[in-house]
Structure 1
Amino acid sequence: MREQILILRRNWMLIVSFALIGVIMAAAASVLMPKTYTATSSLFVSTQNVETSAELQQGSVFALARVQSYVGLARKPQVLDPVIENLDLNLSASELAKTVKASTSRNTVLIDITATDSSPEMAADIANGVVASLIASVADLERPTNGLPSPVRLTSVDAAQPPSSASSPNTVLNLLLGFLYGLAAGLIVAVLRHVLDRHVRSEADLRRSTNLPLLGGITESHVPRHATGPAVLTGSGTDSFRRLRTNLEFAALGKQMRSLVVTSSQAGEGKSTVALNLALSIAHSGQRVMLVDADLRLPSVAEGTGLEGSVGLTTVLIGRSTLEEATQHWGSAGLSVLTSGPLPPNPSELLGSQAMEVLVQKLETEYDVIVFDAPPVLPVADAAILTRHTDSVLLVVGATHVSQHNLSKSVEQLSLAKANVVGVVLNRIPRSGPDANAAYRSEYGAAPLHAIENNGAPSSPVAEAEAAILRESERNGSPRKEHAARGGTAS
């Protein structure tokens, strides 16, 4: 029942759309369908020349037995040909039979003749014409051979009148059927969509793809969609990364986690945002942290933090600059950042080089934790190569973005590289809707993000983070003053 309700919540707009489409199509069909009119005339079957009650009883039984035969006779050419001739119809007997219907109720001697036509007057004329022709035909067929009158008499008891309204199309019925058919189609499509959808949307979907421990969940931030690069989260977002930081310490099982590669299965899952915020959270705990942008194909740390990107990891690896010259400081927590530097033509070879191994060893001696923002696992082999020089890997899973198959494949590739994957973090969990998880949406003791104000005007989380960092930098005399003067942002 829970899964069925989830299907309805996820696809209610789709189901409603199909129902509306069904109603619209039914309305269009009702408008385009030609109008038809139905007229009905009735006959009474009886016996005649009856003198005694016994003969009357026998005649009633005889009439009941004959009624069904007369119903079938009403649509035969013997009855319909005279109607066609009298009304000058441009139809054959078989074509006219399709517009005529004869029926009777059980245990009665009443026969109803119904005729349908696009003209109400013609429908009434056909019904009355069939009645008259049927009376004549029965009198002729039932006439005894001795010349006496027929023992059966058919009498018209209700002449057909031109109907005042069309019998077809029935607009109300058509709209109801269109709604029901559209609703059924929407439900079928919703179920198929649910069955065929293999995207990771919840923890249950995550468990179907991997047995790795779930170390944390990050809800969708309020950063504008057009923001580029990793985003700094505030409010409940910082609480989520504090929990992630704590869970990482437990996942280390008593071992010191010195170098951590943050990667994902494919692009667009938010690995850079997780890497940046995790590094900030660890730095706020008092540890010396270095964030290295090791994505040498599509780097984003420099753009997201506003730091200089022309000097960084690549210039250090090729000896063009020293580590001290390329290291930049960002934020109030003392976070050190090593941007990617100029993009090389051979990223994989550079990350797997001896120089990279030496650099990682040097960083481990100078910092407590080094966080590497690595490329995604499936498109390129850079992340798997980088794990040779590091001791831990954190896999970011973008909710509703990556499929269960791709997640399983990326875990398999990291396993083949003998990487120490400490766990996964479910990123971009919807804050509302059927896939929202209230466990990651708690804002206990924190003001709602939309209530943050700056000089009486609403402030975004990015602006709040930037203001706090710059204020702290001004108090401490941080080098970020120079960056603020250049117009850099902390988005």
Structure 2
Amino acid sequence: MRKGRKQENGRARLIVHDDPKAVGSEAFRTLRTNLQFTSPDQDLKSILLTSAGPGEGKSTVSANLAVAWSQSGAKVVLVGCDLRKPVLHEMFSIRNVPGLSAVLSGAASLKDAIVSSNIPGLDVIPAGPLPPNPAELLQSKAMVSVIEELEKSYDMVILDGTPVIAVTDAAVMANQVDGIVLVIGSNQVPREMALQAKNLLEQAQAKLLGVIMNKVKFKESNMYYYYYNEVDQAQ
């Protein structure tokens, strides 16, 4: 993604949709392919993306990965599981209600919370209104049921979670999904903090599929590039 190019609302744009021939777009397609081959013996149906701390681009990566996956012909749903600071509704210019929080609290049906992104093959479930008990909702039986139902209806379920060190939300969801991807902001997160995030996920018995180094700046082209590393290479 070119430095400084953002949407009017200040959020990073959906580069895979807006500029499919860009270097960053190709990187997301490579990420999609790499993830597809991380579990050759298992049908990968759901992926949770988290980060060590806030501001590392986790939601931008989640959204662009979802677009890239839908471009492969798959039926994809992107779920806003960051119930504390939701941004997906802004990125896709869609309503934030009723949203996931309303579904988990029993105030709305799952069907009513699904919103078309206007991108072929991609639906979005925004986070919804801020609840008083995000962690409790995300580790509830209702959340397990939501993921199970979505896995039946979609080829891929991508969940945009919360930073793993800041709150417990991502860790409590570790066993609800087929795999977790950790997003790390380049030159933003100390190595110790990145390792702490990785250790917290492992303690929660998460299946860590890999680590994404985000916001890597290449001086030659003055572009940001998204690169995927296997977990053992990132240690």
Please classify the TM superposition score into its range, dividing by the shorter chain length.
0.7 to 0.9
Which residues in structure 2 correspond to 1:268-287 (within 5 Å)?
A: 268-287=55-74
Deviations 1:46-67 (A, max 9, x none): xxxxxxxxxxxxxxxxxxxxxx
Residue 402 of structure 1 and its aligned partner are, at CA, apart by 0.7
Matched, 1:253 2:40: yes
C-alpha distance in 2 between matches for 1:368 and 1:336: 12
- What are the residue-to-residue correspondences of 1:77-476 with 2, within 5 Å? 221-224=3-6, 227-233=9-15, 234=19, 235-432=22-219
Question: Deviation of residue 357 (structure 1)?
Answer: 0.8
User: Larger strand proportion, structure 1 or 2?
Assistant: 2
> Match of 1:430, SS?
strand
Unpaired runs of 5+ residues, structure 1, are 1-218, 441-491
User: 1:365 Cα deviation (Å)?
Assistant: 0.7
The answer for the alignment partner of 1:488 in structure 2 is none
Q: TM-score, normalised by structure 1?
A: 0.43
Q: Do 1:229 and 1:301's aligned partners in 2 also have CA atoms closer than 8 Å?
A: no
2:47 and 2:178 in contact (8 A); partners too: yes
What is the CA distance between 1:305 and its match in structure 2?
Answer: 1.2
- Can you list the C-alpha shifts for 1:265-284, whole angstroms capped at 9, x where unaligned? 00011000000000000011
CA distance in 1, matches of 2:184, 2:123: 26
In 2 relative to 1, CA 255–338 (structure 1 residues): closer, same or farther, beyond 3 Å? Answer: same
Cα distance in structure 2, aligned partners of 1:223 and 1:376? 25
User: RMSD value over aligned CA atoms?
Assistant: 2.2
Residue aligned with 2:66, SS = helix
Distance 1:348 1:439 in 2: 29
CA distance in 2, matches of 1:304, 1:436: 21
Q: Which amino acid aligns with 2:44?
A: M
- Matched-pair contact (CA < 8 Å) for 1:220–1:427: no
Contact kept, 8 Å, 2:24 with 2:225, in 1: the verdict is: no
List runs of 5+ in structure 2 lacking aligned partners.
Answer: 228-235
Give distance in 2, aligned partners of 1:398 and 1:268: 8
The letter for the 2-side match of 1:258 is K
Q: How far is the alpha carbon of 1:412 from its aligned partner? A: 0.4
User: TM-score normalised to the size of structure 2?
Assistant: 0.88
Q: Larger RCO: Structure 1 or Structure 2 (Cα < 8 Å, ≥ 6 residues apart)?
A: 2
Give the Cα–Cα distance (whole angstroms) in 2 for the partners of residues 428 and 299 of structure 1. 21
Q: Higher helix share goes to which structure?
A: 1
Aligned residue pairs total 221
What percentage of residue pairs aligned between the two structures are identical? Answer: 35
**Which is greater in Rg?**
1
**What secondary structure is seen at the aligned counterpart in 1 of 2:54?**
coil
Question: CA separation in 1, counterparts of 2:73 and 2:53?
Answer: 32
